[in-house]
Structure 1
C-alpha cells in the first residue's frame, strides 16, 4: 500500500512538473520567462518539486531497486562562490539490488538556461566521491582548469552529471570491491544507472529529453568514457577519453610489479633523484624535435642510456645519481609486462612507461609516495601513500582474492597461479579494451581520445596500443571519421610533466557532433607557470609537433610531422 501511494505521489509530482513546463514559455529549452497572460511556475518551484521523488526501477536500464531524490536546492546566480548562473542542484541515491551493496550517490545540476544537452563527468582512481559537476571536466591535462575565457559546462547551459560510482571512500580505497554488485557498479554499471537517473530527473524538470549527451573523463573516468561507447552506445553522442585506464587490470598488475622494485631495499627513487634523471633525459633528447624548449616532442627518437646517471660503483652516493638497485626500478617501469595468460579481448601484455623519455613520477607524492616510508601507508593517504602500491594492493586483496591478508609485494603479476581465472573474470568486468565500437559508430557517435607523453600513472603506449587495434579493425581512414587520437608531448596525468596543456575540448566535441565540424588545426595551451601561455599544435597520431622556426612559445612555429 505504501509503495502504491508513493508511486501515485511521484506520478502526480512528475505530471505537475510536465504541465508546468508545458505552460512556461521556453525560448531555448530552459528559458523560464513568460508573457504576462500565461501562468508562470518559477525555477525555484520547479526545483523544490523534485525533492523526494522516486525514480522507478523500470526507468533505469540495469537492475536496481529504483532511485530517490535526496535533495533539490536552487542555487541563485548571486550566491557566494557560484559562477555558474542559476541552477538546481539535485542529489540522489540509486538503490542496489543487493541489500549489502552501497547506493550509487549521484548529482544532477540543472541550469535554468538549459541548452538541451548534458555532460556526464567521469571519476578517477577508485572514485568514492561525486565528481565536481560544478567545475570543468577532464577535457585537458591540468585537472579542473580551463584556458582563460572558457566557462564551465554548467554555466554554458549544459546539465552536468556525476556519481561516486557506487561507494563512499577516496581514490585510494578499494575495500568496497569485496561486494560483487559494488564492484560491478564501479567497473561500469554506474555509468548507465547514473545516465538514466539524470535523464528521468531532467525530463521531469524541463519536460523534454536531452538533445545531445556527452561523457568526459580522465584516467578511470577515461576508461568509463570508452565503456560508455562500447557498452551503452545509444546513450551518448560524443565522448572525450583523456589518459584512459583502458586496460585497468594490466595497469594494476604492472603497478604491482613496479612496486616490488620501488619498495625493495634501496630501490626507492626519491624526488631529488627523479629530478636529476629527468634533467639528464631532457638534456639529451630535448632538441631532437628541432628546439630546446624543455619538451621531448618525439619520445620515439629518444634513446637514453641509464648508465649515464649511474652512481660511481653502483652504490647510492647522493641525489645526483641512481644506484644499481634504483636503476632497476626505473628499468622495470620502462619495460612492458608480459602475461602467461590472456586478459579481456586477448590482451597479453601491458606496455612500458616512458621512464627514460620524460615521464614524471615525482612532481606529486601520489604516484610513488612522498617517501619510501610513506609509500606503504595503509589505508592510502592522498599525497603520502604510493598510488602504485595502494591501488594494486587493494585490487589484489579486495577485487580479486577477497583476502585482505595478501600483499601485492608477494604476488607474481605475470603469472598469478591459482588466481589467474579470477583475474580474468575481473578483467572482463572492468577493462575497456574492446574494439567493438560499431554501434556507436553507426549512430554517428564521436570520440576524442587523448594522452600525454609524460604520463606518470598510465603509459601513453596503452592508448597507442588501443588505437592501433582500432585502426586494424576499422582502417585508419574510416576510424578517423568518428575517432580522433592525440598524443600531447610533455603532458602528464592531471598535474606534473613539462607541459600542462589545456583547450576547450567540449566545444570541439560539440561542434563535431552538432555541426559536423571535424577537429582540425587544434591548439593546446600550457597553463603551468613559469611557461603558462605557450602553445603547441595538437597533432593527430601518429604525427608530432616539429619546430620549423620562429617563436618557440607559439604553435605557429611548429608543424605536425611524421
Structure 2
C-alpha cells in the first residue's frame, strides 16, 4: 500500500495503487524574454512594504521537493511537487505591521495569457505556516498565477502567536489579502497585462480561510473553493481536545489501541455499509449510520477481556458513544457534531502521527493564555473549554451565516467535504450549509445561484480513502491525473468552479476517481447537497452510471 501523509489539517491519502500520473515531457525552453523579465523582478518589482527574496525562472520538469527556504517541518508540502509548465518563481516578504510579516510564494506560468489570465490564492492547514507547494504546481499547471503564503509564521507550531496579536491576524485572514494583492501586482508587471478572474482554493484550515473570504471579503474573489473547512474553529479544537481526552490519551480509561480501532471500524461497516445498497466499504450517507458499540462489550461476569475475546470495556464503549455523539458544553449548549462513522482508521492514524491534541495545546498556550507552561493532561476539561470559547480573535471562528455580500457580488462558492474525514467531521459542513439557508431565508434552489456544497463519499481529510476521492481539489497530489490526462484536459472541481464563474455553467455533480483495493478503477459522480448518491439497484458500483442523485 502506498500512503501519502501530511501533518494534521492537510491530507492523509491511502492508495492501493497510485493513480495514473501525467508523464512529463522533457523540459521546454521558454521564451527568452519571459525568462529575462522574470529575473529582472529581483530589481524592478518594488511594491510598498514588500521585499523580493527570490526571482528565478523554473523550467518545466523542475522538482520542488528540496525547495530552499522551506522550514524542515513543512517538507511534506513540497514532496513530489513538480512544475509541469515553465514558470517564474517569485518569493517575497510582505510587512503587515511593525511586529508581523508574511512570506509569499508566487508562481507565474509562461502559459498564463493563453490560459485565461487567472490568479488563484491557496490556503494552509492546521495552525501551520506551510505553503502548499503541491497546490501551487497543480494550479500553475492549469495556467493560474498561483499564490501561497506562510500565514505570517513558519512551520507547524503556533509558538509565533505568543503575545503577538498581529501574527494571529495574519493567520486569521490578512495573509490571504496581502498575498493576493502582491501576486496580482506581480502578474501585471511580468505580463504587462491586468489579471482576469481571481480564485481561491484551500482545504481544512484552508477551507476555513475560504469561508472567511466568502463571509467578509467576497468582493475580492470571483470564485472560492473551500474544502473540509475548519470553521466553527474554536468548537472544532475543543471537540478535538475532548475526543483525545476520551479515547486518544494512552492514560485514559477509554483509550483505544490501533487494533481496537480496526475492530470498531469493522463493526461500523458491518452495521452500515449496506444502507446505501452496496457493501463496498464506502458509506454514501454516514448520517444514517448509528452503530451499536455495545455489540463489542466484554462479558465482565464471564471474565472476557480484549486479549481473550477481542471485546471492549464498559468505559471504552461509553467513550465511543460520546465520540460518535454530539458534544455539549457544561451549560448543556450544543458545541460540535459527532465524528464521522467510517473514519475510524484515519482518526487513529492522525492521533498517532500528529501528536494528539497539539493544536489545542498551542492555541491555549500561545493565544488564549499566553502561558507556555499550560499542561493539557492536568488542566483540560469542558469547564476550561469555556475559556477557549470566550476569545475569538479576528473572528477566526468563521461561523457567520450571512453570505448576502457574496450573493450581491455575483461571486461563487463551492464547498465539499469527505464523508470519511477523520479530522473534521463532514456533519459540520451540513450544519453550516443549513445554517446559511435558514439565516438568509433561502431554499437550496436559490442558494444554488452562488453557494453549492458537495459530499464526497469515501474520501478522508482533503483526499485519500476508499472512495472515488480524487477530484482535482486542494491538498490532493498535484501530479496524479486520472487516466493520465495532462492538466489542460483534466476537468476537476477547480475547473468546475472556473466554468461556473466564467461561463455560467454551474456544477450539478463532481466527478471523482481512484484505484480500489483490488486494483480496479472507481469512478463516481458526487452529488450536490441536499441530493444523495443512490445506487440504482444493479450494475457495477464502481461505474458512475450505477448511481443517481435523488
TM range (shorter): 0.7 to 0.9
Question: Closer, same or farther in 2 for the Cα pair 1:488/1:197, shift >3 Å?
Answer: same
| Structure 1 residue 463 displacement after superposition | 0.7
SS at match of 1:267: coil
Q: Which runs of 5+ in 2 are unaligned?
A: 1-28, 65-81, 472-491
Q: Name the counterpart of 1:511.
A: 499
| Structure 1 residue 498 displacement after superposition | 2.9
- Give yes or no for the alignment of 1:441 onto 2:428: no
Q: Name the counterpart of 2:8.
A: none
SS at match of 1:70: strand
Residues of 2 paired with 1:52 and 1:267: CA distance? 60
Residues of 2 paired with 1:547 and 1:236: CA distance? 37
Residues of 1 paired with 2:291 and 2:178: CA distance? 47
Q: Name the counterpart of 1:6.
A: none
| Structure 1 residue 360 displacement after superposition | 2.6
Whether the 8 Å contact between 2:298 and 2:309 is mirrored in structure 1 is: no
SS at match of 2:148: strand
SS at match of 2:545: helix
For residues 132-163 of structure 1, give each alpha carbon's deviation from its aligned partner in whole angstroms, at most 9, with x where no partner exists: 15656xxxxxxxxxxxxxxx321222111101
Root mean square deviation of aligned Cα: 2.5
- Give yes or no for the alignment of 1:291 onto 2:278: yes
TM-score (norm 2): 0.80
| Structure 1 residue 323 displacement after superposition | 2.4
Could you tell me which of 349, 359, 368 is aligned with 1:391? 359
- Give yes or no for the alignment of 1:77 onto 2:60: yes
- Give yes or no for the alignment of 1:256 onto 2:245: no
Could you tell me which of 516, 523, 548 is aligned with 2:511? 523
Q: Name the counterpart of 1:123.
A: 124
Q: Name the counterpart of 2:529.
A: 541
| Structure 1 residue 326 displacement after superposition | 2.5
Question: Closer, same or farther in 2 for the Cα pair 1:560/1:161, shift >3 Å?
Answer: same
Could you tell me which of 525, 531, 547 is aligned with 1:558? 547
Could you tell me which of 141, 144, 160 is aligned with 1:155? 141
Whether the 8 Å contact between 2:365 and 2:373 is mirrored in structure 1 is: yes
TM-score (norm 1): 0.79
| Structure 1 residue 478 displacement after superposition | 1.5
SS at match of 1:416: helix
| Structure 1 residue 424 displacement after superposition | 2.8
Q: Name the counterpart of 1:43.
A: 34
For residues 234-291 of structure 1, give each alpha carbon's deviation from its aligned partner in whole angstroms, at most 9, with x where no partner exists: 2101111111001111111111111221214343212211111111111121111111
Whether the 8 Å contact between 1:400 and 1:423 is mirrored in structure 2 is: no
Radius of gyration: which is bigger?
A: 1
Residues of 2 paired with 1:266 and 1:496: CA distance? 31
Whether the 8 Å contact between 1:256 and 1:409 is mirrored in structure 2 is: no
Residues of 2 paired with 1:428 and 1:413: CA distance? 25
Q: Name the counterpart of 2:453.
A: 485
Whether the 8 Å contact between 1:109 and 1:134 is mirrored in structure 2 is: no
Residues of 1 paired with 2:63 and 2:378: CA distance? 52
Question: Closer, same or farther in 2 for the Cα pair 1:308/1:78, shift >3 Å?
Answer: closer
| Structure 1 residue 531 displacement after superposition | 5.5
Question: Closer, same or farther in 2 for the Cα pair 1:239/1:122, shift >3 Å?
Answer: same
- Give yes or no for the alignment of 1:104 onto 2:102: yes
Whether the 8 Å contact between 1:266 and 1:326 is mirrored in structure 2 is: yes
Compare relative contact order (CA 8 Å, sep 6+) and give the higher one, 1 or 2. 2
Within-5 A mapping of 1:349-498: 349-354=335-340, 357-362=341-346, 365=349, 367-369=350-352, 383=353, 385-386=355-356, 389-411=357-379, 414-416=382-384, 420=387, 423-426=389-392, 429-474=395-440, 475-476=442-443, 477-495=445-463, 497-498=465-466
Q: Name the counterpart of 2:314.
A: 324
Residues of 2 paired with 1:393 and 1:79: CA distance? 38
Question: Closer, same or farther in 2 for the Cα pair 1:505/1:521, shift >3 Å?
Answer: closer
Residues of 2 paired with 1:454 and 1:321: CA distance? 24
| Structure 1 residue 361 displacement after superposition | 4.3
SS at match of 1:268: coil
- Count of residues in correspondence between the two structures: 473
Q: Which runs of 5+ in 1 are unaligned?
A: 1-30, 34-40, 58-65, 137-151, 370-382
For residues 463-489 of structure 1, give each alpha carbon's deviation from its aligned partner in whole angstroms, at most 9, with x where no partner exists: 111000111133122111111111122
Residues of 2 paired with 1:79 and 1:295: CA distance? 37
Question: Closer, same or farther in 2 for the Cα pair 1:318/1:328, shift >3 Å?
Answer: farther
Question: Closer, same or farther in 2 for the Cα pair 1:247/1:164, shift >3 Å?
Answer: same
